[in-house]
DNA sequence: TATTGTTATACTCTATAACTATA
DNA sequence: TATAGTTATAGAGTATAACAATA
């Protein structure tokens, strides 16, 4: 007979990494409703558009690093965005292996339509928190992320 | 000429949903290093083992709901875990459409090996925070998640 | 030799739906 | 009719590596 004792009382529902993953999924879904459902961009495509929109023309490699995309994800997002005529690329004069990416007029217009909507959603989400909690969240994210990167790199 | 003005100054690096997604990815990766790299379980498989380990024998449907898996993810995770002889299932006497899942001795042994390691990692991550911040994080997660679910359901 | 970027391939996930057996 | 679970299938995403062009 097995009476499966709850010996350690380990419970996913109270496990911070699990809670954080579930939260991030739900929060991301609210933002993805904007760029996926209304504007037909994938997450990777939206990240590329967002970085170009806020920072101006950038080398493909720089965008990939900022947006957390590997070179294949980047290559495919760029190909799709080019086909949709949302970005253009030109050779990088300083390193002819690379490309400089620019938003086209259409890409810029799309960025200008999307950002106010995502911002409004962020504001709505943050309205659930007190000012102190919102400020604490910023600090907490930075601290936890640094610790996670440190732990991850150690294996 | 385009001087791509940072008109709106929208910046992913300061966008809470993006910051949260990146954080959750990095935190999840530190936990996945344990169950994927060392014990060859997928995320879904690990969630099923974790719920059975902490709560004992459960109906497949109950596990799916708790673990946030849909019926197909659940069906596949169960099939893989059964093939690995980590869980067993028997007919549910009360509803013969369903199954009751149990950890095998091997499954229980695996659970007992994994949980202390994931707990230790969680503790290490939380050690980056003050006690107040750790407590605030719990509240913040609950509040933000409720708000996100509300927003998501409205579209 | 190393790096940027593309292509190929296989594998995994996801989403949808059809299907079964029970209820 | 509705539910638990399986199977089928197509599309998307992921990982690995081979490859071309440039450094």
Contacts of B127 in chain A (CB under 8 A): 147
Q: How far apart, in whole angstroms, are the C-alpha atoms of residue A139 and residue B134?
A: 11
Of A2, A21, A122, the CB nearest to B102: A2
Q: In what order do the strands lie in the sheet with A99-103?
A: A58-59, A99-103, A87-91
| A148 in B contact zone (CB under 8 Å) | yes
At A9, is the pLDDT very low, low, confident or very high (cuts 50, 70, 90)? low
Q: How far apart, in whole angstroms, are the C-alpha atoms of residue B22 and residue B31?
A: 15
Phi, psi of B8 (to 5 degrees): -95, -15
| SS3 of residue B89 by DSSP | strand
With residue A101 as reference, give the H or E element that holds it: strand A99-103
Q: Are A5 and B18 in contact (CB under 8 A)?
A: no
Share the mean pLDDT of chain B: 91
| SS3 of residue B98 by DSSP | coil
Q: How far apart, in whole angstroms, are the C-alpha atoms of residue B67 and residue A49?
A: 34
pTM: 0.90
Task: Determine the average pLDDT of the residues in B3-8.
Answer: 44
- How do residues B30-46 score in pLDDT, each as one tens digit? 999 999 989 999 999 99
Closest residue on chain B to A36 (Cα): B155
Give the distance, in angstroms, between residue B153 CA and nucleotide D3 C1'. 24
- How do residues B73-124 score in pLDDT, each as one tens digit? 999 999 999 999 999 999 999 999 999 999 999 999 999 999 999 999 999 9
Residue A120: partners with Cβ closer than 8 Å, 6 or more residues away: none
Task: Determine the average pLDDT of the residues in A38-67.
Answer: 93
Query: Would you state the structure tokens that stand for residue A97, as one six-digit string?
Result: 């292996």
Cα-based angle A23, A43, A124 (whole degrees, multiple of 5): 45
Closest residue on chain B to A56 (Cα): B4
Query: Would you state the structure tokens that stand for residue A142, as one six-digit string?
Result: 């930075």
Contacts of A4 in chain B (CB under 8 A): 52, 56-57, 102-103, 108
How many angstroms separate the Cα of A89 from the Cα of each of A41, A104, B12, B106, B107?
19, 10, 22, 55, 53
At A78, is the pLDDT very low, low, confident or very high (cuts 50, 70, 90)? very high
Q: How far apart, in whole angstroms, are the C-alpha atoms of residue B119 and residue A84?
A: 46
Q: Which residues pair with B121 in a beta bridge?
A: none
Task: Determine the average pLDDT of the residues in A126-145.
Answer: 98
Restricting to B residues 5-64, those with a Cβ less than 8 Å away from any Cβ of A are: 6, 8-13, 15-17, 19-31, 33, 47, 50-57
- Residue for token digits 């966008």? B15
Phi, psi of A91 (to 5 degrees): -60, 145
Of B19, B122, B129, the CB nearest to A17: B122
Query: Would you state the structure tokens that stand for residue A134, as one six-digit string?
Result: 């919102």
Cα A78 from chain centre: 16
């Amino acid at each position: 007979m097995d009476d499966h004792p709850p010996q350690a009382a380990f419970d996913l529902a109270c496990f911070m990494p699990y809670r954080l993953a579930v939260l991030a999924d739900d929060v991301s879904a609210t933002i993805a409703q904007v760029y996926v459902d209304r504007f037909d961009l994938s997450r990777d495509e939206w990240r590329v558009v967002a970085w170009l929109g806020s920072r101006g023309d950038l080398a493909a490699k720089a965008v990939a690093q900022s947006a957390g995309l590997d070179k294949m994800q980047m290559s495919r997002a760029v190909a799709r965005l080019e086909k949709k005529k949302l970005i253009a690329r030109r050779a990088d004069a300083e390193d002819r292996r690379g490309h400089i990416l620019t938003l086209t007029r259409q890409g810029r217009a799309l960025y200008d339509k999307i950002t106010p909507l995502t911002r409004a959603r962020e504001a709505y989400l943050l309205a659930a928190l007190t000012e102190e909690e919102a400020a604490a969240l910023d600090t907490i994210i930075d601290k936890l992320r640094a610790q996670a990167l440190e732990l991850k790199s150690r294996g």
